[in-house]
Structure 1
Amino acid sequence: MAVAAGCTGQGGAAGRADDEDLLRDHDWTHMPGTTARDGVLRVGATDRRIVEQDASGGRPNPPLNLAGPHLESGGDFTVTARMSGVGDGGGSWLRLYGQVPVVYDEWRQERPSLRVGVTADGRVKAQTWDGGSDDPSTTRVFDCDCAGTVTLAVSSIGDTFRVQADGRRLGTVPDPGVFAEGTVWFGLEADAAEDARREGWRLTRLRARAESGDPLRVVEAPRLRQKRSGDSLRARAADVGRPFDIGTALAENPLLTDARYRALAGSQFSMLTPENAFKPQFLHPRRGVYDFRDADLLVRFARANGMKVHAHTLVWHEALPAWMREDDDPGEVRRTMLRHIAAVAGHFRGQVAEWDVVNEPMSDDEESYTDGDRGLRSEQSPWFGAMGEQYIDEAFRAAHRADPTARLYLNEYGVEEEGERWDALYDLVARLRERGVPIDGVGFQNHEYAPGDRVDPETFRGHVRDLAELGVGSRVSEMDVPIGEDEEHGRRTQADEMAGKLRVCLEEPTCTSFSTWGFTDRYGSTADTRVYPPRPADSLPWDVDLRPKPAYERLLAAFDEE
């Protein structure tokens, strides 16, 4: 297999008659970090990163063109790109993915890919990932003195990539079988430059050519609209007799690259929750820099399939870009929160049905529930640190101003059961209502990671009714239940737990929806990420092969028992 990235210079930019033009007459308008104009792509620095749950680290999360063309090939091939404006203080990169990365709940699994480009100091760097680690399996750096408009070429002959620049051979890189599955997805990246006015580069040509085997096939993004099923969860939900939605969390990468995942998502559910794309570190990675393209894809999918969007989430202490934690001035922290809400909720105004305005405000520290404390998360939350409890009021009021027709929710885990956490949440909601805060509902996450997390459905019902007395609705927002080592017993428990909570929602008129946190173990966010590649979990109604489990059948049956 041969892969080349080239541009004008000595390498011959005109292309051959059998080249496939991948840039013109193809859709690149939905790729994060890029601006398309007159057949040229300007690639800007997004600096998208995924931090750990404790706010440490920061794995790169570069964009790729999910909604544009990709390649299918049965043999060797060449990809040619003309890159202009390189070397202006930041690196310029072309990323070719043999398999699209999986982004779990705030964690990215690298799969086989090749990254090649020009560094800020004019050298050429080529890196490969083999799917066995976050880090590259091989990195090679070559002297080039490249700048301006540069021709790069990486040809894979057998198990070796040959790297060229402007027709000059620079060296080789081992190929771990990056394109063994015969597919190529495209990503473009720009490093941030010290002088922000000089950030980015331009892609003016992108071509592909078969070198051996069958001709290349250029594949456009799939149709978003999926066939409906008369016997599905969403079909049963439509017959409840009142507005009621059955939902799930969705991720844009498998939605655009896995046809079976896409078909089930569109046919089975009437509501989607973006798993990650609406979180601050994904769509607001740099101060004043927003990119909504991945989030917009999910909204487009929902619209194409008549689904509602429950948008998640505006204000949280996790999934924050590093810059959101840098300010010490409380006034600036408040302004950051309000600007973010205004920009994000304003962008999606009228396009989403509901917002998780504040996510997980309750503390995990037992001392937060003693000596008169109200149980709110303090040290981990920059918002509480700057404004105290008032941040919640301000967030809801700002969301209502930005999107006045959307229903506004507070979302929390561990409040299905009795105890101080539930009591503190109930008291918080009562205070918010007394202060006239426009809160419409509470999301009960219902993550049942361990046997101790199991909650009697009648306990949950009591909490739904308590909130109803305050004039506040409820929903099951993120349910998942691991099966565990005893598979037969675990499958039965999973089905019982999910169906039990769904029945409560169907029977209580103020419970408006039931959602699981993903629907298939193939991409489930409870996968074990302590090993690489991650070990799939078993917490969702469809297994890793997208086959329904007993939990799915019990959820269907719960509608008939209502």
Structure 2
Amino acid sequence: MKLQSLRRAAVGVSAAALLLIGGAPSGHAAEAPVLRDLAAAKGIYYGTAVSASKLNGTYASVVTEQFDSITPGNEMKWGSVEPTRGSYNWSGADAVVDFAEANDQKVRGHTLVWHSQLPSWVENGTWTADSLRTVMTDHIATEAGRYKGRIDHWDVVNEPFNEDGTRRQSIFQTAIGDSYIADAFRAARAADPDAKLYLNDYNVEGINAKSTAMYDLVKSFKEQGVPIDGVGLQAHLILGQVPSTLQANIQRFADLGVDVVITELDIRMTVPPTEAQLAQQKADYKAVTSACVAVARCKGITVWGFTDSDSWIPDFFDGYGAATPYDENYQPKPAYYGIAEALGWTGDTTPGPTGGCAVTYTVQNQWDTGFTAQVTVKNSGTTAVNGWQLAWSWPSGQSVNQAWNATVTQSGSAVTATNASYNASVAPGSTVTFGFNGTLSGANTAPTGFTLNGTDCTTA
């Protein structure tokens, strides 16, 4: 067995769990994509942010199967690990690191110095430059030192810039001044010499005032010998708004001699999503992933939560959500396949059921030049279908001109009906029904050769 096969066997991913993450048990469909393996073949990693409390069951199975890097969403932030000065809580951070090591995954440490989620004793303290610098560097030495040799990348300083490129007036900026970022990087290098050290921020994905300020700071660090290894572009994006300068921006940072990673990718939309929105989201995820793959020093991508059930977006952006590659039931959305395609996958995205399917085709109404038909598809197999396409050919030259509960396309006599966003899943023994209006110019012979995701169906 290959290493990846051994890894998956070790975590006990069941056939049902594999279906939830896009597995393909049927011999009629290609093997579903595994993002971590596709990414490794491209020389990058594909990761996800995680919540330590959820690292069990199906959530843990998908994390293990699909991602080769994990980032603790909150467990390593200052307020989580040192809520009271000198009193530490490492339980969440330890759980994430232990899980990663058990599943052959990298860890991105997030984050050592940030203006937000600080404990009140730091945020509301009265500091001189020297006293806060000592507190900051002691914190870095303690946390980075605890995980020395176990963290691949640290977000050393997070979100230091305003939108216009000026420095954010955090407690560190106001008390210590401009030097605090370099001070933090030097302290992190001393605490963990082998970890890659990153500067991380949002709204720096394209070329703009904020990303240019970040670029200028990194350039000055390289000239001064400040130990910086990379920059993180968070990429909390809005549907249809992937910056056109993303790849060029990645390239210009790479040209400074640092690595670049996409650290917190999600792409939000108004909810509930439409099929058109999900298709656009697929294109957007594909575009971001492709931009990284195109630049040699872009080392990886992390989605900020892989499932909509664990996304921060609905709590912070009213009316928005559906921002991740998986829905709330851990089923892959089109975005998941967009990522896979950008990583070189060309397989079938819609595996068929194990055990077969049955189709009932009924003409409900007919007139001289047209007709109305209803199609019911039964999953008579033993495995769920998560995303479906029903295909057939017209025997008498008919054509479809309007459909409901499915998107129907036609080329010549060949017809394909694709699920709507709300009826993509068909459990074993369950049915899904759609209808359409068609035109005819003679006989209206019913089709018989139906296939569901490449699996031959009987006609009831």
TM-score, normalising length: structure 1: 0.55
TM-superposition CA deviations, 1:25-83 (whole Å, max 9, x none) = xxxxxxxxxxxxxxxxxxxxxxxxxxxxxxxxxxxxxxxxxxxxxxxxxxxxxxxxxxx
Q: Distance in 2 between matches of 1:548 and 1:302?
A: 22
How far is the alpha carbon of 1:328 from its aligned partner? 2.6
Picking from 129, 142, 147, the partner of 1:330 is: 129
Structure 1: 5+ residue stretches without partners: 1-222, 370-374
- Is 1:524–1:536's contact at 8 Å kept on the other side of the alignment? no
| Gapped regions of structure 2 (runs ≥ 5) | 1-8, 24-30, 347-460
Among 335, 355, 358, the alignment partner of 2:154 is 355
Alignment-mate amino acid for residue 45 of structure 2: D
Kept in 2: contact 1:226–1:305 (CA 8 A): no
> Is 1:473 matched up with 2:259?
yes
CA distance in 2: counterparts of 1:548 and 1:560, whole angstroms: 18
Cα separation, 1, equivalents of 2:323 and 2:252: 29
Amino acid at match of 1:404: P
Structure 2 residue matching 1:265: 3-state secondary structure = helix
Deviations 1:169-225 (A, max 9, x none): xxxxxxxxxxxxxxxxxxxxxxxxxxxxxxxxxxxxxxxxxxxxxxxxxxxxxx994
Picking from 45, 49, 70, the partner of 1:245 is: 45
- Asked if residue 442 in structure 1 is aligned to residue 240 in structure 2, the reply is no
The aligned counterpart of 2:215 is 426
State the SS of the aligned residue for 2:203: coil
Q: Could you say what secondary structure the match of 1:482 adopts?
A: strand
3-state secondary structure, aligned to 1:248: strand
Q: Which amino acid aligns with 1:283?
A: V
Indicate which of 307, 310, 314 corresponds to 1:527.
314
Structure-2-length-normalised TM-score:
0.66
Structure 1 distance, partners of 2:242, 2:40, is 28
Residue 510 to residue 265, structure 1, CA distance change in 2 (3 Å): same
**Is the 1:409–1:439 Cα contact (8 Å) retained in structure 2?**
yes
Q: Indicate conservation of the 8 Å contact 2:239/2:281, yes or no.
A: no
CA distance in 1, matches of 2:282, 2:81: 35
Q: CA deviation at 1:529?
A: 6.1
1:442 is paired with a residue whose SS is: strand
| 1:478 CA drift (Å) | 0.5
| CA distances 1:234-280 after superposition (whole Å, capped 9, x unpaired) | 1212222x3x1000100011114xx1111101110000011000000
Q: What is the correspondence of 1:23-422 to structure 2 with a 5 Å cutoff? A: 225=11, 227=13, 231-240=33-42, 242=43, 244-256=44-56, 259-325=57-123, 326-364=125-163, 366=164, 369=165, 375-378=166-169, 381-422=170-211
Determine helix, strand or coil for the equivalent of 1:418: coil
- Equivalenced residue count is 320
* 2:180 partner amino acid: Y
Deviates more, 1:323-332 or 1:421-430: 323-332
Equivalent pair of 1:522/1:536 in contact (CA under 8 Å): no
CA 1:287–1:520: 2 relative to 1, 3 Å: same
> Matched residue of 2:269: which SS?
coil
Partners of 1:530 and 1:441 in 2: how far apart? 29
Same amino acid, percent of matched pairs? 36
Question: Which residue identity lines up with residue 416 of structure 1 in the other structure?
Answer: E
2: CA distance, partners of 1:445 / 1:529: 16
Q: What CA distance in whole angstroms lies between the structure 2 residues aligned with 1:351 and 1:416?
A: 28
CA distance in 2, matches of 1:500, 1:401: 37
Partner amino acid, structure 2, of 1:437: V
Look up the match of 1:550: 334
Distance in 2, matches of 1:226 and 1:285, equals 37
Q: Which residue of 319, 325, 349 corresponds with 1:541?
A: 325
Q: Give the letter for the 2:214 counterpart.
A: L
Contact kept? 1:226, 1:266, Cα under 8 Å: no
Q: Post-superposition shift, 1:561? A: 6.7
3-state secondary structure, aligned to 2:308: coil
Q: 1:482 aligns with which of 262, 268, 271?
A: 268
Higher share of residues assigned helix: 2
Cα distance in 2 between the residues matched to 1:517 and 1:383: 26
> What are the superposed Cα offsets for residues 325-347 of structure 1, whole Å, 9 maximum, x if unpaired?
21232221111100100000000
User: Per-residue deviation at 1:528?
Assistant: 2.8
